[in-house]
Amino acid sequence: MKIGFINTGGTISCVESGSGLSPLSAEEFRQAFHRLMLPILLSRLQDLEIEHVDVEFNSSSNTLDSTNLQPSDWCLIAEKIVNNYEKYDGWIILHGTDSMDFTASALPFMLSSFRSDASSLYLLDKPIVITGSQVPMFHRSNKNLELRFNSDAFGNICGSFEALKANISEVCVFFGGKLLRGNRVVKVNADGFQAFSSPNYPILGRMGINLELYSENIRQHEYNKNFVLSQREMRDIISNQIKYLKSNINNYPVVQLKAFPSWYGKSSSLMSKLIDSIVKSGAKGIVLESYGEGNFPSGNPDNPGLGANYKSLLNASNAGVLIADSTQVLTGRVDDQAYAAGSWLSKVVAIATDDMTSFAAFSKLSILLSLSGLYGYGV
């Protein structure tokens, strides 16, 4: 089993310093990993071969705290996977936890092909597992790096390789003993080892003495062997798609806007001013993080059409800004027609996101907008 290993950075590849956690260079982490972790992995997976694949991030350490990841960095990660797809049986991606839910949502879309109606064709036929940790993997003892005794990194790494061995052809997240579908994850704990959850989709597996898989939850599809990334023609299509994304994704910024209690008057509101400012800044998409089932304050409780927020969202839609209606509630789905407080959103052409996470909605909207010129669909 030959694995491509991408270290994007994050807590897992940091060490304590005088100014807090600081990133190790990609090379120093690589050397410590091969010295300390690889022998342990080989005791379980005798045929394992790991090759580190560097992503050229814009940082001195060639890694990034995930707080600083941009949508263009999703492109760099996807590009490395596609350009080296033939060489490996699967991929491990180390990632910071702060924006892991964004990247885990974006990669499945980036590795799919899109049709002229913006529907997608799933092409992935090898496993990709994203993981990280809440505590660094290593600590510095004198000049040497050693495994840190209280880190969750060890278990997350071992579980990730077990998941690769199971050969699940999805983008997954392994964290805290659970295997999760990537575009369903949400970070739910800032300082505990059970940092990620999948509120609207059951887990794919759980690590105990062995990795127990729940096959009924895993993507079941009959592959057409002509339409998978193992085929050169399909890789060429996705490679061109990623090149196009790299050139365009910064031109199609998307903003998340959370509903919150704020003042409103007859002709203006704090929220309407925020919406106007977002549009003026050049945003091409807005993901509303609404209340409940998709309810968003219109600015007028008696007549939504007269509300300042309604008018600003309508102006945004008329200006070509695509609006998605998501929810800030973890569990459940969006039904913005359930209440009058949300039913007006259809009049400003807001698209309900069903049970997608707001992170998946943000990622998918960013990618679809950026690819609209390539595939010619209307957005």
Fold for domain 253-375?
Rossmann fold (3.40.50)
For tokens 């910024």, the residue is 253
Digit-coded pLDDT (tens) for 21-61: 888 888 899 999 999 999 999 998 899 999 999 998 877 76
Residue 294 φ/ψ region, left for φ over 0, alpha for ψ in the -120 to 50 degree band, beta for the rest: left
Residues belonging to the chain = 379
Mean pLDDT lowest among 38-47, 101-110, 305-314: 38-47
What mean pLDDT is reported for the chain?
93
Q: Are 182 and 173 in contact (CB under 8 A)?
A: yes
Q: How far does the chain reach from its first CA to its final CA, in angstroms?
A: 42
Digit-coded pLDDT (tens) for 333-354: 999 999 999 999 999 999 999 9
Q: Are 91 and 97 in contact (CB under 8 A)?
A: no
What does the pLDDT read at residue 379?
Answer: 60
Please provide the CATH number assigned to the domain covering 2-247: 3.40.50.1170
Mean pLDDT lowest among 85-89, 113-117, 121-125, 315-319: 113-117
Dihedral sign computed on CA atoms, order 9, 12, 15, 20: positive
- Identify the H or E element spanning 120: strand 120-122
Digit-coded pLDDT (tens) for 229-269: 999 999 999 999 999 999 999 999 999 999 999 999 989 99
Measure the CA–CA gap between 313 and 256, rounded to whole angstroms. 13
What does the pLDDT read at residue 166?
Answer: 94
Q: Are 135 and 129 in contact (CB under 8 A)?
A: no
**Hey, where are the domains in the chain?**
2-247, 253-375
Q: Are 180 and 173 in contact (CB under 8 A)?
A: yes
Dihedral sign computed on CA atoms, order 303, 304, 309, 313: negative
Question: 2-247 and 253-375 share one CATH topology?
Answer: yes
Mean pLDDT lowest among 113-117, 125-129, 309-313, 337-341: 113-117
Of all residues in the chain, the percent with pLDDT exceeding 70 is: 98
What does the pLDDT read at residue 223?
Answer: 60
Q: What is the pTM of this model?
A: 0.94
Digit-coded pLDDT (tens) for 213-238: 999 999 876 667 778 999 999 999 99
- Does residue 63 register a pLDDT over 90? no
Three-class secondary structure of residue 277 per DSSP: helix
